[in-house]
């Protein structure tokens, strides 16, 4: 009996089962188990809390696999919405059930079936990562083929000659640019004093503008007032009146040139001019005679009465 008891405890110890632990058995149903076997560990955050106890196929469920596993850690409370995920625990593909505890307040009881999930295997992950790379590789190969075709079309005899001529032209252009740059440097070196004076003058002008900024602003304000006044003035009416006055003056000048009216007669008729000139000469003679012999035309007395004793002289 002792030997049989030792054999039982030793066998369970080798399987990783704790005979004296408080065991809680739960179940999960998977469409596949990807190599999960009995006695594989049950872990939380890499810490072993139990083992897989059974694996049975259920034809009633369409060939799904019912996995039974036990949790031996009394400190672990399993919420009812926890997930039992089949996951790889090393690079060799060893499987384990990794518990992802839920946030429900109700706890799962021994014998309950938990939510079953399966972690993607390495092949699936690699295929998913490689698929976009494969598409890009195909596109790159297609682009390379197109580029090779274009290069082959370019590198024919005529194209090579054209490229040679183009490279020669580019070489000459570069040399011309070098010569131009050299000449420009020499010109700048020779005219450095003048350039410095120009910059000095520009700086002086800018300084004067800065000092007279207020005056410039006043001038601009005055110009603005003038433009506003011109805008408010009725320039169109003024121009129309000026045009009318010019037309009237033109009409008058035309009448004068045609001899109409007094001014036209005066300008165009020599007889009237000669008569006016003769009358002017006669008037001058009359005025001169009045100046020389005023008594012939004006009679006055200093005392305000005539001398009655002297007889009046008759005019000649």
Supply the pLDDT for residue 85.
Answer: 92
Domain membership of residue 270 (yes or no) is: yes
Closest-CA residue to 263 (of 252, 277, 274, 278): 252
pLDDT over 60 at 62, yes or no: yes
Q: Which residue has the higher pLDDT, 277 or 25?
A: 25
pTM of the shown model: 0.38
Partners of 48 in the β-ladder: 43
> Do residues 83 and 153 both lie within one domain?
no
Look at residues 10, 15, 12 and name the one whose alpha carbon lies nearest to residue 38.
Answer: 15
207, part of any domain? no
What's the chain's average pLDDT? 79
Evaluate if residue 306 carries a pLDDT over 70: no
**pLDDT level of residue 10 (50, 70, 90 thresholds):** confident
Spatial contact of 67 and 33, defined as CB atoms under 8 Å apart = yes
Residues 40 and 71 in one domain: yes
- Does residue 307 lie in a domain region? no
Query: In this predicted structure, what is the pLDDT of residue 121?
Result: 63
Please tell me whether residues 101 and 136 are part of one structural domain: no
Check whether residue 9 and residue 59 sit in a common domain.
yes
Mean pLDDT calculated for residue range 147-151: 76
Shared domain for 115 and 6, answered yes or no, is yes
Domain tally, the chain: 3
Buried b or exposed e, range 207-236, using 16+ CB within 10 angstroms: eeeeeeeeeeeeeeeeeeeeeeeeeeeeee
Taking 90 as the threshold, does the pLDDT of residue 29 lie above it?
yes
Domain residue limits at 253: 249-287
- Split at pLDDT 50, 70, 90, the class of 308 is very low
Strands (E) across the chain are located at 24-30, 41-44, 47-58, 64-71, 83-88, 95-100, 115-118
Q: What is the per-residue pLDDT for 316?
A: 47
Q: Round to whole Å and give the CA distance between 12 and 41.
A: 14
The band of 114, judged by pLDDT with boundaries at 50, 70 and 90, is: very high
**Model confidence at 295: pLDDT above 90:** no
Among the ranges given (40-54, 96-110, 221-235, 285-299), the one the predictor scored with the smallest mean pLDDT? 221-235
Same domain? 87 vs 178: no
**Could you tell me whether strands 47-58 and 64-71 are parallel, antiparallel, or unpaired per DSSP bridges?**
antiparallel
**What CA–CA distance (Å, rounded) separates 237 from 76?**
104
User: For the chain, what's the residue count?
Assistant: 316
**Are 111 and 137 found together in one domain?**
no
Residue 181 lies in a domain: yes
Q: What percent of the chain has pLDDT over 90?
A: 15
Q: 41 vs 286, which has greater pLDDT?
A: 41
Q: Which helix (H) or strand (E) holds 94?
A: none
Same domain for 82 and 108, yes or no, is yes
């Amino acid at each position: 009996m002792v030997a049989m008891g030792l054999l039982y405890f030793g066998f369970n110890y080798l399987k990783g089962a704790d005979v004296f632990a408080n065991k809680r058995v739960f179940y999960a149903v998977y469409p596949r188990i990807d190599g999960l076997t009995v006695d594989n560990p049950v872990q939380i955050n890499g810490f072993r809390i139990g083992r897989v106890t059974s694996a049975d196929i259920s034809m009633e469920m369409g060939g799904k696999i019912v996995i039974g596993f036990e949790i031996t850690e009394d400190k672990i409370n399993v919420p009812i919405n926890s997930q039992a995920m089949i996951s790889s625990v090393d690079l060799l593909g060893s499987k384990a059930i990794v518990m992802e505890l839920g946030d429900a307040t109700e706890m799962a009881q021994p014998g309950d079936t938990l939510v079953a999930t399966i972690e993607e295997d390495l092949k699936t992950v690699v295929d998913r990562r490689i698929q976009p790379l494969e598409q890009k590789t195909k596109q790159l190969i297609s682009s390379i083929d197109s580029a090779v075709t274009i290069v082959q079309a370019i590198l024919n005899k005529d194209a090579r000659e054209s490229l040679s001529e183009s490279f020669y032209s580019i070489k000459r252009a570069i040399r011309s640019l070098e010569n131009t740059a050299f000449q420009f440097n020499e010109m700048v070196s020779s005219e450095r004093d003048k350039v410095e004076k120009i910059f000095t003058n520009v700086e002086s002008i800018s300084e004067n503008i800065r000092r007279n900024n207020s005056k410039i602003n006043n001038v601009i304000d005055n110009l603005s007032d003038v433009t506003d006044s011109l805008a408010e003035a009725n320039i169109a009416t003024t121009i129309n009146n000026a045009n009318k006055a010019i037309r009237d003056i033109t009409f008058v000048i035309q009448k004068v040139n045609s001899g109409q009216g007094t001014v036209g007669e005066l300008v165009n008729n020599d007889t009237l001019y000669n008569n006016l000139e003769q009358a002017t000469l006669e008037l001058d003679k009359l005025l001169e005679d009045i100046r020389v012999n005023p008594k012939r035309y004006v009679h006055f007395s200093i005392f305000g009465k005539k001398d009655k004793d002297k007889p009046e002289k008759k005019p000649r």
